[in-house]
């Protein structure tokens, strides 16, 4: 998939001026926060389970080669096939070949963000095979020709009006004057429409939340049931997964599942958590005859042994973006590639390069909420800081930024000069704005004043004020009495 | 080949070659013993409380539960539920021996077809393998007696579950499966498919507002057979 990450600043500006998007973000963002907080409050062991989840993933990553081989061995033992793919291109070719062998005309798809990374849909279409997204959110995204704006709620950026308009536009065989009384009517129309597609499909493609080395199983976690219909009804099931999805055992997966749904949607457990192991067995009345796993690397193995290895713990719950003030303001499309929000700001530069995605790790206030809610305790702000350092080392920022940082660093290393300069600056600003109360714009600070006014500094610098209070404090201190309290 | 390239890059990152034999043996041991991690205390209660927790959690997730004293009481419970929901007295039933043994013929108003699920089915009756009290979750493995389509295609899914098969935590359900199943074809204990089901299908994709009845069943009804003397309240 091509990225628009280099245009993050323009994307963000457009997003902030988009009234529809801002309305959708306003409706959506509170819901996730409250639900997660309630689910976490309902499980006293949640904090301990975060440590467990982190440790399981760390153990797996330290032995990733072993567990991947074990997984592949057990998939094959259960009659399935594993396709190892270094790049998105290889993965596309592997999927196409399986579909061709199955003489597939249509392919149903469960939600898979990896499939966005691979760019499967365009590839299949270009070769005469019709992919049909079946997750409700993905379905409307496909109708609109967009990409998901959120990793678990693809249509996070849309309002109910958008759904109604798109359904009228796409489902032309239905009465154009039909009324959608409530959200459920939209859901019912999609359900009816997609039922026919599920039954007609020759191949079903899903993602995988986990791969289990011990049993050779892939696991999907859904609420709608579309993923299950996708992997049950067609003759062939393809599970797409990246290499870091593997965990050793069912018990390990179970522990991770305890934090996944709570962090993601704020449910104690998702409606459907399904384990697929190989194809149909003797005597089974249903289920696919063939089972394939397309295992994608796409740059992840290069993260091993670097400071970004920790990012490979991510279980894609989206808590970081749900709690991010930047995501909450710009929405997901501004980030310009598959993965938005804080996890995207760390992962995207790893996968498509910091030159392409350098703006993303800069799009953070480092408030730290993402790290505080991460179920596998990924230090997201620290990792974004690593990207900023790399960007600086590789001279990827514009000259103005580098010069500014250089000047700031010179003063920062000389505290006396720093204090003197701030004292002079504050004094000058105070004098200049003495009649205004606030600045509407300032040279070199337009980025800041564009969205808000800068209050005119009052009094002295923080350090001066602090020093003064310390002095007063020590003057007024009463000697401690003998008895104490 | 890409397999070697991927494994090679991982090993380079980890600054080592393939694992030495002793470390492999240690990891094989971890797989063989599949140690449990921290299990939340909420399901560590007596049997009657465990059953009550299971029911409470099913209902919290918009499922319903009817308790019956034995298998003979199931047809009446099914008839009552279908009538109350205004549903036709016709359903697709899993070809499980325990369900087939029920004397359906004594209840001529119920039309029972023993088969997998079909797209036109309004109602199904599945046989539950286990229930997990921790979150009110059903464990539904696929096998010739429990077709997966019965969990997916009908508008309403009914599931018969023995109270003796309600466990506290997911790990206990895995233990049952490991102990009871061997697949002749693969030599392992995993069936082709295992669905953990917690309530009826839903979606919150439209404005993050929850709506029941997405692609799977719109209603989930559990008929809990009180076969466990220790579990009776």
Average pLDDT over residues A453-476: 84
CA B149, CA B94: separation in Å to the nearest integer?
10
pLDDT at residue A210 above 80?
yes
Q: Name the residue among B5, B115, B188 with its Cβ closest to that of A215.
A: B188
pTM of the model: 0.92
What are the residue ranges spanned by the domains of chain B?
Answer: 1-35, 45-231
Where are the extended beta strands (E) located within A207-302? 210-212, 217-222, 236-242, 246-247, 272-276, 290-296
Interface of A with B in 30-59 (CB under 8 A): 31-32, 43-45, 48-49, 52, 56
CA dist A415 → A106, A333, A422, A469 (Å): 67, 42, 10, 20
Look up the ipTM and state it.
Answer: 0.97
Position A394 scores a pLDDT of 85
**Sequence-distant (≥ 6) Cβ neighbours of residue B89 within 8 angstroms:** B79, B82, B83, B109, B110, B111
The mean pLDDT values, 10 residues at a time, for chain B of 233 residues are 94 97 98 98 96 98 97 98 97 98 96 97 98 98 98 98 98 98 93 98 90 94 94 71
Q: Does A328 touch chain B (CB under 8 A)?
A: no
Chain A contact for B24 (CB, 8 A cutoff): yes
How far is residue B130 CA from its own chain's centroid? 6
Question: How far apart (Å, rounded) are the C-alpha atoms in residues A237 and A108?
Answer: 10
- Mean pLDDT (chain A, rounded): 93
The superfamily in CATH containing domain A5-302 is NagB/RpiA/CoA transferase-like (3.40.50.10420)
B219, B156 contact by CB (below 8 A): yes
- Portion 96-155 of B in contact with A at CB < 8 A: 115-117, 119, 134-135, 137, 142-144, 147-149, 151-153
B197 and A214 within 8 Å at the Cβ level: the answer is no
Residues of chain B with Cβ-Cβ distance to A283 below 8 Å are 143-144
How does B162-191 read in b/e, with b if 16+ C-beta sit within 10 Å? bbbbbbbbbbbbbbebeeeeebeebebbbb
Q: Alpha-carbon distance A62 to B23, whole Å?
A: 12
Domain boundaries, chain A: 5-302, 415-476
Identify the band that residue A229 occupies on the pLDDT scale cut at 50, 70 and 90. very high
Rg, C-alpha atoms of chain B: 21
Has residue A406 got a pLDDT over 80?
Answer: yes
- Using one digit for the tens of pLDDT, what is the confidence trace for B147-190? 999 999 999 999 999 999 999 999 999 999 999 999 988 999 99
CATH T-level fold of B45-231: Rossmann fold (3.40.50)
Identify the pLDDT of residue B173.
Answer: 98
Its sign, for the CA torsion A112, A116, A117, A122, is positive
Predicted local distance difference test score (pLDDT) of residue B218: 96
Tell me whether strands B64-68 and A272-276 are parallel, antiparallel or unpaired: unpaired
- Residue A97's pLDDT band, with cuts at 50, 70 and 90, is very high
- Tokens 């393809």 locate to A238
Q: What gap in Å lies between CA A292 and CA A290, rounded to an integer?
A: 7
Per-residue pLDDT reduced to its tens digit, A262-290: 999 999 999 999 999 999 999 999 999 99
């Amino acid at each position: 998939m091509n990225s628009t990450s280099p245009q993050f600043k323009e994307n963000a500006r457009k997003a902030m001026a988009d009234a529809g998007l801002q309305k959708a973000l306003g409706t959506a963002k509170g819901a996730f926060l409250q639900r997660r907080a309630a689910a976490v409050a309902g499980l006293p062991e949640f904090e301990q389970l975060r440590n467990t989840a982190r440790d399981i993933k760390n153990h797996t990553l330290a032995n990733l080669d072993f567990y991947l081989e074990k997984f592949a061995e057990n998939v094959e033992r259960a009659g399935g096939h594993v396709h190892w793919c270094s790049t998105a291109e290889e993965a596309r070719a592997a999927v196409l070949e399986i579909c061709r062998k199955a003489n597939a005309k249509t392919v149903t798809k469960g939600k898979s963000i990896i499939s966005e990374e691979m760019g499967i849909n365009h590839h299949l279409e270009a070769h005469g095979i019709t992919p049909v997204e079946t997750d409700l959110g993905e379905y409307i995204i496909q109708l609109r020709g967009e990409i998901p704006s959120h990793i678990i709620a693809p249509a996070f950026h849309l309002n109910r009006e958008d759904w109604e308009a798109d359904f009228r536009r796409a489902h032309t065989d239905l009465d154009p004057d039909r009324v959608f009384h409530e959200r459920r009517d939209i859901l019912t129309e999609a359900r009816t429409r997609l039922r026919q597609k599920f039954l007609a499909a020759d191949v079903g493609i899903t993602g995988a939340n986990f791969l289990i080395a011990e049993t050779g199983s892939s696991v999907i976690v859904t609420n709608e049931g579309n993923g299950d219909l996708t992997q049950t009804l067609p003759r062939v099931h393809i599970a797409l997964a990246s290499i870091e999805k593997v965990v050793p055992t069912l018990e390990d997966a179970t522990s991770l599942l305890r934090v996944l749904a709570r962090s993601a949607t704020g449910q104690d457990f998702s409606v459907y958590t399904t384990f697929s192991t190989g194809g149909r067995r003797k005597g089974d009345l249903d289920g696919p005859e063939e089972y394939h796993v397309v295992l994608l690397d796409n740059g992840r193995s290069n993260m091993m042994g670097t400071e970004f290895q920790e990012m490979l713990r991510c279980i894609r719950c989206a808590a970081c973006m749900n709690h991010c003030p930047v995501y909450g303001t710009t929405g997901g499309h501004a980030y310009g590639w598959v993965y938005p929000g804080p996890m995207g700001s760390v992962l995207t530069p790893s996968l498509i390069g910091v030159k392409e995605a350098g703006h993303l790790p800069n799009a953070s206030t480092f408030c730290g909420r993402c790290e505080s809610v991460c179920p596998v305790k990924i230090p997201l702000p620290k990792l974004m800081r690593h990207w900023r350092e790399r960007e600086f080392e590789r001279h990827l920022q514009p000259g103005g930024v580098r010069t500014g940082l250089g000047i700031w660093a010179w003063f920062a290393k000389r505290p006396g000069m720093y204090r003197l300069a701030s004292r002079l600056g504050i004094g000058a600003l105070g004098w200049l704005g003495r009649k205004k109360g606030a600045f509407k714009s300032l040279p070199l600070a337009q980025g800041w004043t564009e969205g808000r006014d800068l209050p005119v500094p009052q009094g002295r610098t923080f350090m001066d004020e602090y020093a003064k209070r310390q002095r007063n404090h020590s003057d007024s201190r009463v000697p401690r009495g003998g008895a104490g309290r | 080949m890409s397999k070697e390239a991927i494994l090679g890059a991982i090993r380079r990152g980890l600054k080592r070659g393939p694992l030495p034999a002793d470390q492999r043996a240690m990891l094989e041991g971890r797989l063989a013993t599949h140690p449990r991690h921290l299990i939340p205390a909420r399901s560590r209660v007596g049997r009657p409380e465990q059953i009550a927790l299971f029911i409470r959690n099913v209902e919290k997730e918009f499922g319903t539960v009817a308790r019956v004293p034995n298998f003979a009481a199931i047809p009446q419970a099914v008839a009552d539920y279908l009538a109350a929901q205004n549903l036709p007295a016709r359903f697709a039933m899993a070809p499980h021996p325990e369900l087939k043994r029920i004397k359906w013929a004594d209840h001529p108003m119920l039309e029972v077809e023993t088969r997998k699920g079909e797209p036109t089915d309004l109602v199904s009756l599945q046989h539950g393998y286990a229930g997990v009290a921790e979150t009110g979750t059903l464990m539904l493995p696929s096998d010739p007696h429990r077709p997966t389509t019965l969990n997916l295609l009908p508008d309403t899914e009914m599931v018969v579950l023995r109270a003796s098969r309600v466990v506290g935590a997911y790990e206990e359900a895995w233990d049952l499966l490991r102990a009871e199943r061997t697949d002749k074809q693969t030599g392992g204990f995993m069936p082709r498919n295992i669905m953990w089901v917690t309530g009826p299908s839903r979606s919150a994709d439209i404005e993050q507002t929850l709506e029941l009845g997405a692609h799977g069943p719109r209603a989930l009804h559990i008929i809990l057979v009180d076969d466990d003397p220790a579990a009776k309240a």
